[in-house]
Amino acid sequence: MALIITYLLFICSPLFAQVDEQTQEQIQAPILSSGFLMPPPEKGEFWFCPSAEIALYSRNSFSYGAGFAFAYGRKVSVGLKAAFFMDEYSAHDTLELHVLLRLYLSGRNANSGPFFQFAGGPAIFFPKDGEISLPAEFGLLSAGLSFGWRFLLGSAFFIEPSVRGGYPFIAGSSLSAGLRF
């Protein structure tokens, strides 16, 4: 019985404690300003992310490639993207150089969640025989619209799966991992 009464006293004693607001702030200030309880510092609005990509530049096979993007902004990001694609069954490899415009759908200060991205610029095609000529043999104006989702991993790192459609590629997808700074 004594154990039950002691237990109830420990549980109920905070219910009856009276502390004025100034004392409450003095108690909480050292706790909130120490180490792991402190909210993470807000990262800047620049971001960089390398990516692995797949695109359908032909009706017969996938083109596999890698790229990177560098941009600035929160709700709306503006930046540059480059990607190089190789296709085993095609006579050409492709280099995309795009300007991107990205709109996050989840709020005014968003830097994560769902997004739409427009990317446009030249798609330059190089023959597979190993001789890269500048200027390129031929190129086309490339444009596309992507839908993706940015998942934050802590305050600085993120991953982004996305799908896209456009011209001259038919469709594509990518998985990016990046850094905000």
Interval 102-133: pLDDT, tens? 999 987 777 889 999 999 999 988 888 766 66
Picking from 2-16, 73-87, 122-136, which range would have the lowest pLDDT averaged per residue? 2-16
Q: Confidence class of residue 11 from pLDDT cuts 50, 70 and 90?
A: low
Q: Which CATH architecture has domain 46-180?
A: Beta Barrel (2.40)
Distance CA 86, CA 106 (A): 35
pLDDT tier, 18 (very low <50, low <70, confident <90, very high otherwise) = low
Contacts of residue 166, Cβ cutoff 8 Å, sequence gap at least 6: 119, 142, 143, 144, 145, 172
Beta-carbon contacts of residue 56 (< 8 Å; ≥ 6 apart): 62, 63, 169, 170, 171, 172
Report how far residue 168's alpha carbon sits from residue 55's, in angstroms, rounded to the nearest whole number. 10
Best mean pLDDT range from 84-88, 138-142, 163-167? 163-167
For position 38, what pLDDT does the model report? 47
Q: CATH 2.40.160.20: which residues of the chain?
A: 46-180
157 closest CA partner among 34, 38, 40: 40
d(CA 66, CA 96) in angstroms, rounded, equals 10
How much is the average pLDDT of 28-47?
58
DSSP-derived 3-state class of residue 174: strand
Mean pLDDT of the chain: 81
DSSP track, 140-167: EEEEEEEEEEEEEETTTEEEEEEEEEEE
Q: How far apart are CA 120 and CA 104, in angstroms?
A: 18
Q: Is the pLDDT of residue 34 over 60?
A: no
- The pLDDT of residue 138 is 79
